[in-house]
Amino acid sequence: MIQENIEHVSVYGVLHSPWVQAVLLGLHEKDISHSVQPIPSLSSLVSSGLMMPAAKINKGSWQLDSEEILKSIGYKGIDKVDKRAIFRTWDGVLHRVDNPFEFFHGFSLNKYDHPSILVRGLSSFLRPFITYYFFTLISFLIFTGKRRDPDSFADQFLPWERRLSQTGSLYFGGSSPNAVDLQLFGIVQCHCSIPYAPLLETIQSDPALPQYREWIGRMQEHFAGYKHLYSGQHFRPETPVAQRSSFLERVVYWFGALFMLLLLPITLLSVCALALLPNRNY
């Protein structure tokens, strides 16, 4: 349901999530005042664990799911066929834990805009727990055989390549981006934020994907003022890299990561407890 008279939207999530990126892109496109917090509120944590994105419109309740949030701010829903095709373009993301240091380093660079240095410092200290959570979750998926690379990473993008070729449209939404564009471009940001070279190189240079690359370029031009772009350093036209945390915030982040590593049994038990927490949406 579309919300009326939106004054401000609070979003919980990390910038490496494609679904968080989709919501933030939508808010930017609609020019809606919003803020991003990397740590969930206590009520959100108890109700839904670390699930993201979560969004609170004005002073309402928190809601989950990227598509539902986009619908609340005025976008049309996505049909089931497109949902499956969108999710397929996420293949390869499980490789981001191949290098644990790069994974944690990528999370350490996320910038949190808050006027209080104390709040930013506390957030930086606590954020490694989110990183441990996703590192453990992805590692578990790999251990259980969920990572199955295709013969060619280009295959997952071919349905969208064909659609662009057949319709001749600038965007999947026609003359302007729709929810499909936002989610697909959010996944592009995900692939670029902690890149897996074989996948990224496929998108950059595979001869089967010329229209898809042009679409990425149009999206980058369209969202040139968006401050969380990771794709700008990998595709043309180049755009400024996503804003990064300060050196001090990164030091605090790594201190928090080390502290949680020293308390590894407690950290892992907490991660497992939150992963098994039933989803009770608002």
Could you tell me the pTM of the whole model?
0.92
Is residue 280's pLDDT more than 70? no
3-state DSSP assignment of residue 74: coil
Describe the crossing of helices 117-143 and 264-275 by its angle, rounded to 10 degrees.
70
Q: What pLDDT is stored for residue 282 in this prediction?
A: 30
Q: What pLDDT is stored for residue 281 in this prediction?
A: 38
Is residue 141's pLDDT more than 60? yes
Mean pLDDT of 259-273: 81
Q: What pLDDT is stored for residue 277 in this prediction?
A: 59
9-72 and 80-233 agree in CATH topology: no
Tens digits of residue pLDDT in 109-131: 998 888 888 999 999 999 999 99
Lowest mean pLDDT among 30-34, 166-170, 226-230, 265-269: 265-269
Q: What pLDDT is stored for residue 234 in this prediction?
A: 94
Q: What pLDDT is stored for residue 278 in this prediction?
A: 54
Q: What pLDDT is stored for residue 276 in this prediction?
A: 66
Grade residue 43 by pLDDT with cuts at 50, 70 and 90: confident
Q: What pLDDT is stored for residue 168 in this prediction?
A: 92
Q: What is the 3-state secondary structure (H, E, C) of 136-176?
A: HHHHHHHHCCCCCCCCCHHHHHHHHHHHHHHHCCCECCECC
Q: What pLDDT is stored for residue 47 in this prediction?
A: 78
Of 251, 254, 221, which Cα lies nearest the Cα of 239? 221
Grade residue 1 by pLDDT with cuts at 50, 70 and 90: low
Domain parsing of the chain, residue ranges: 9-72, 80-233
Mean pLDDT of 238-260: 93
Q: Which CATH number fits domain 9-72: 3.40.50.300, 1.10.8.290, 3.40.1190.20, 3.40.30.10?
A: 3.40.30.10
Which fold is adopted by the domain 80-233? Glutathione S-transferase Yfyf (Class Pi); Chain A, domain 2 (1.20.1050)
Lowest mean pLDDT among 78-82, 174-178, 274-278: 274-278
Is residue 167's pLDDT more than 50? yes
Is residue 169's pLDDT more than 60? yes
Letter string b/e over residues 202-221, b meaning 16 or more CB atoms within 10 A of that residue's CB: bbeebeebebbbebbebbbe
CB-based contact 272:223 (threshold 8 Å): no
Cβ neighbours, 10 Å, residue 86: 23
Per the listing, tokens 């350490």 go with: 108
Is residue 14's pLDDT more than 50? yes
DSSP 8-state symbol, 39: S
Lowest mean pLDDT among 112-116, 217-221, 274-278: 274-278
3-state DSSP assignment of residue 8: coil
Kindly report the average pLDDT of the chain as a whole number: 91
